Structure 1
């Protein structure tokens, strides 16, 4: 499972946007979002660069956690 620090997430819409962006690349990816900690965990076959690009495209800042 890969983990990333994502800033700018604050609500359910943010969770949906991040989850849908990742699952658009891999439908079966498991995505966990912890709003309080600002963490996104992804389990699947995507590499870190793909995940980071998808989340950045939604307008969030992201870095490996």
Structure 2
């Protein structure tokens, strides 16, 4: 199992979206490392909780994360 969780978030469209997602993940998992590529709408998160818990944190901000293996 990888330590990195990856998601595609099609409704992440701008820097503000990226900052909102990053802030939410870091609030829930302060030691997480969040890497966002807006051009591909991909988010990679290291050192966080399980995939469904992290997806719930992102969804609570109004985004639609889809897990990527």
Common topology (TM > 0.5): yes
| Structure 2 residues not aligned, in runs of 5+ | none
Give the count of matched residue pairs. 65
1:48 corresponds to: 51
- Runs of 4+ with >6 A deviation: none
The 5-angstrom pairing of residues 1-65 of structure 1 reads: 1-65=4-68
SS of the residue aligned with 2:49? coil
TM-score using structure 1 length:
0.92
| Structure 1 residues not aligned, in runs of 5+ | none
| Cα deviation, residue 19, structure 1 | 0.4
- The separation in 2 between residues aligned to 1:45 and 1:52, in whole angstroms, is 11
| Cα deviation, residue 49, structure 1 | 1.0
SS of the residue aligned with 2:36? strand
| CA RMSD, 1 decimal | 0.9
